[in-house]
A = this chain, B = another copy of it.
Amino acid sequence: MTAPGLAAAFDAYEHALMTNDVEALDRLFAPGPATLRGDVTGLLVGHDAISAFRRARGGAPPRRIVETHVREIDDEHALIVAVTELLTGGRGQQTQLWEHRDGTWVITAAHVSSAAAALDGRIWRLVGDPLLPRSREGSLSGESVAVKDLYAVAGQRVGAGNPARLEAAEPEPEHAWAVERLLAEGADVRGISRTDEFAFGLAGTDTHYGAPPNPRAAQRVPGGSSSGSASAVSLGHATIGLGTDTGGSVRVPAAYQGLWGIRTTHGAVSVRGLLPLSPSFDTVGWLTKGPALLSRVAGSLLPPDETTPGDSVTAEALLGLAEPDIAESIRALVADIPRIDWTFDSSAMLTTFQTLQAYEAWQVHGPWLTTRWDTLRPDVRGRFERAAAVSTGEADRARREVAVLRIRIRELLRDRVLVLPSASSVAPPVHDSDAVHAIRTATMQLTCIAGIAGLPAVSVPGETRAGLPFGMCLVGPPRSDRGLIALAERWHRRSPDDGHPDLTTSHGPERDSRDTRTGS
């Protein structure tokens, strides 16, 4: 390096990185909003964002520099490309644009990459090429499934997101019904994917293994509890994310990650071999990138429809539960469909749902948990502590209220399809636990409707003006699941082509889609 001071600055950066000297790193990155730093977790724009990232991560992994190439651009600019090698193994690359500014060399743009881990333990517990091969060819040949760690896989234990439960579990003697069916229809099982602990969470952050990434929204939560299955599909690790939906656990990650997802009519798909959370509400569900595969899986797992979905309606009271960007986006799409009066007390309805859900969750997991409180994540522990306190009388009352509400909602909707937000907001920032907590109630007031009424619900992906995924949910009459997917696809196709907000997923077309835009 001939540029005076550049070599020293480069060495100073490397030293600061290895000693996690955040002050020095901040000084060595150019101030201002134009500075860039990108790695596998996303591109950070602006010195403030970069500095916040450094303070949160607690240091870079130890490495050495194997090779360095300096390209001096002019007297005040140079590009330095270095090949790095982690002490744990594997090589990576670091590309830095340096600028001589105010008498000192600073980095104005950096790009860092490194060798991949054996597997991403935030997404997967086990993964294979494949983990289980299909048992025969069928309508799903060529597809691969991420199986949420609540479903029995023969020879493997069910972990349910809790390491102590995993350790104590016995290997399952046979596959869960849904897993068996998917294998028999030609799908391979790619692996066993992570879940929020005991599926008792909606953000994807109630996990012992780190929140799975949200590939569509860097540094934002993935949504849960079918978080691993959703991230696996978003990343192309699998094409079908097998999940469960008790109170939104498929619809919320679908919304946050721009995927298609279905919660099936309660009771329509066998839950044999599925670890329950709350049997009154538990359903089998799945996530895909596009509607055609969503529908093909429905053909494998669901019986023929018994009902045909009728007209679509919406309710301002429900749109109003969502944040303005989402409410506006959906209003723009459903301007021409009838509004109905939604006179239910959303707050009371959610309390009823949560009371019965909690009581049942405690019936299922309480006997084991009483001796293993120590193993729970804080938020999940809080939920189970409240669950343990629900009396039989409270549970009986909630059960009666659910039965009444189910009838009243079904009577109100009849064969009509209710359009509402899949979640009350876009995915909140993963490090902002206040935001994660804040939206939980509003989101569950939306998601518990299908839960209480036992109705099927399909989440259709959209994108806000800010470019973040959101979900529009269609709740259909009971046993109309396949028709509801077809209706959702028609909704998707009628989305405007001329800009945001729209429902044309930018997630990339599925294999058999007509959408061939490459975005470039």
Q: A residues near B, CB below 8 A?
A: 14-15, 18, 34, 36, 38-40, 42-43, 45, 62-67, 69, 71, 73-74, 77, 79, 81, 83, 85-93, 95, 97, 108-109, 111, 113, 115-121, 123-129, 131, 133, 155, 167, 171, 190-191, 209, 215-216, 218, 232-238, 289, 506-509, 517-520
Contacts and interface: CB of A to CB of B under 8 A. Distances in A.
B167 A40 contact: no
Contact of A129 (B92, B126, B232, B508): B126
Nearest to A112: B113
Contact of A119 (B73, B119, B133): B119
B15 A85 contact: no
A95 B520 contact: no
24 contacts: A18-B520, A43-B83, A45-B69, A64-B517, A71-B109, A73-B77, A81-B111, A86-B236, A87-B508, A89-B237, A89-B289, A95-B95, A95-B111, A116-B117, A116-B120, A117-B236, A118-B119, A118-B120, A118-B124, A118-B237, A118-B238, A121-B129, A126-B128, A126-B131
Contact of A90 (B38, B89, B236): B236
A340 to B, nearest CB: 37
A358 B85 CA distance: 40
A520 to B, nearest CB: 5
A290 to B, nearest CB: 11
Given A79-B79, A126-B127, A126-B129, 17 more contacts: A14-B520, A38-B81, A38-B83, A45-B69, A64-B518, A71-B97, A71-B109, A85-B215, A87-B509, A89-B237, A97-B97, A115-B235, A117-B237, A118-B123, A118-B235, A119-B119, A133-B167
B69 A36 contact: yes
The 10 closest A-B pairs by CB, nearest first: A64-B519, A89-B236, A88-B236, A116-B116, A118-B237, A87-B508, A113-B113, A126-B128, A121-B129, A95-B111
A236 B90 CA distance: 7
Contact of A88 (B39, B92, B191, B508): B508
